[in-house]
Structure formats: structure tokens, C-alpha cells
């Protein structure tokens, strides 16, 4: 009896884990822009080589390559009205474990507000932030990592238009 239920349990676990892991990328596409100059320069293809504070957002298992204290700050203007920023810090707890914290933000300013009747009412802005806490641990042959991410969106000036959720 136990042998027949184990494969079903594994399948359900993988389906559940996959939906959680993919939730943040689909809900916040600006997270694919990169974290730091290296990942932006590699067009986001730097997940496997992520180390330092940028690995907080890209690959938490890469935190195990941090020597002591690492800090990364990057900001980029994507167009006239879009900005993307990343701040990350990582610190060794022991020679095998590292913890990191990152803030990724995205903003679009000057969005034209138009009523249903076609009248212009002025402009508003959209902002989104991702706050990531990551942990990496090195074993003998493999590095492991896990992240917890909170995503917050703000559309317009109204305080009731803010949405917050957890991912990862």
C-alpha cells in the first residue's frame, strides 16, 4: 500500500512546489530584468553563475560563494518613464552558510489617466517592489538555497490600490 501512494505524493508535491516557484516571475515580470550590472549585461542569463549579493534574487544557492560581506547597488533607466533598481546585501554566518536581503523596485511614471468619456484627467504612476530574504548553505558536494519574497504593487495615488503578496 505504501509503495503505491509514494509516486502520487511526489507528483502532487512537485505540482504544488512548481506553482509556488513560478508565481513570482509571472506576477512581476520586472524581476527578469536582472539584479546588478553583470546579470543585466548577460540579458538575464546569469542564474547559474550568480554569486555575491545578486544571487539573493537570482540563485540563493550561489550565496555560498560569498566570502564575507557583499553589497550590490544597480539602477537603470529602461526608457524615458521606466526605472528599475536593485539593492542587495549578503553576509556569511558560518563558512558554509550565508544570508542575504535584496530589494528590487520598478516604476513607471507619467501614465496618462483618461476617463471613459475620453477626457484627460492628468497623470499617475505605477510602482512595484520585491523584498527578498535568502539563505544559502554549502554541503560537501552540493549547494542549497531558499528564498522568501514579498511583492508589493501600487497603482496611482490611492492608498487602497496597494496589493501585497508572498512568493517563493
115-140: pLDDT as tens digits: 888 888 888 888 888 899 999 998 88
16 CB neighbour count, 10 Å cutoff: 10
The string of pLDDT tens digits covering residues 42-98 is 666 666 667 778 888 888 888 888 888 988 888 888 777 888 888 999 999 998 999
Domain containing 56: what range?
2-167
Q: Give the total number of structural domains in the chain.
A: 1
HEC readout, the chain: CHHHHHHHHHHHHHHHHHHHHHHHHHHCHHHHHCCCHHHHHCCCCCCCCCCHHHHHHHCHHHHHHCCCEEEEEEEEECCCCEEEEEEEEEEECCCCEEEEEEEEEEEEEEEEEECCCCCEEEEEEEEEEEEEEEEEEECCCCEEEEEEEEEEEEECCCHHHEEEEEEC
Average pLDDT score over residue span 143-162: 75
Q: What is the pTM of this model?
A: 0.70
Alpha carbon 66 to chain centroid, angstroms? 19
pLDDT at 167: 53
Query: Of 109, 99, 89, 97, whose CA–CA distance to 36 is shortest?
Result: 89
Q: Which residue has the cell 552540493?
A: 142
Residue with cell 550565508: 98
Amino acid at each position: 500500500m505504501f509503495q503505491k501512494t509514494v509516486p502520487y505524493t511526489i507528483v502532487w508535491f512537485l505540482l504544488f512546489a512548481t506553482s509556488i516557484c513560478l508565481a513570482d516571475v509571472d506576477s512581476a515580470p520586472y524581476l527578469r530584468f536582472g539584479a546588478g550590472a553583470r546579470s543585466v549585461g548577460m540579458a538575464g542569463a546569469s542564474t547559474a553563475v550568480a554569486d555575491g549579493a545578486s544571487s539573493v534574487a537570482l540563485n540563493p544557492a550561489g550565496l555560498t560563494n560569498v566570502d564575507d560581506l557583499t553589497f550590490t547597488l544597480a539602477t537603470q533607466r529602461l526608457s524615458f518613464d521606466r526605472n528599475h533598481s536593485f539593492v542587495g546585501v549578503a553576509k556569511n554566518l558560518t563558512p558554509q552558510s550565508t544570508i542575504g536581503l535584496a530589494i528590487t523596485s520598478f516604476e513607471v511614471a507619467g501614465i496618462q489617466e483618461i476617463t471613459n468619456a475620453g477626457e484627460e484627467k492628468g497623470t499617475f504612476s505605477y510602482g512595484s517592489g520585491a523584498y527578498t530574504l535568502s539563505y544559502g548553505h554549502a554541503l560537501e558536494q552540493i549547494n542549497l538555497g531558499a528564498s522568501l519574497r514579498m511583492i508589493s504593487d501600487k497603482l496611482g495615488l490611492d492608498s487602497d490600490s496597494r496589493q501585497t503578496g508572498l512568493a517563493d
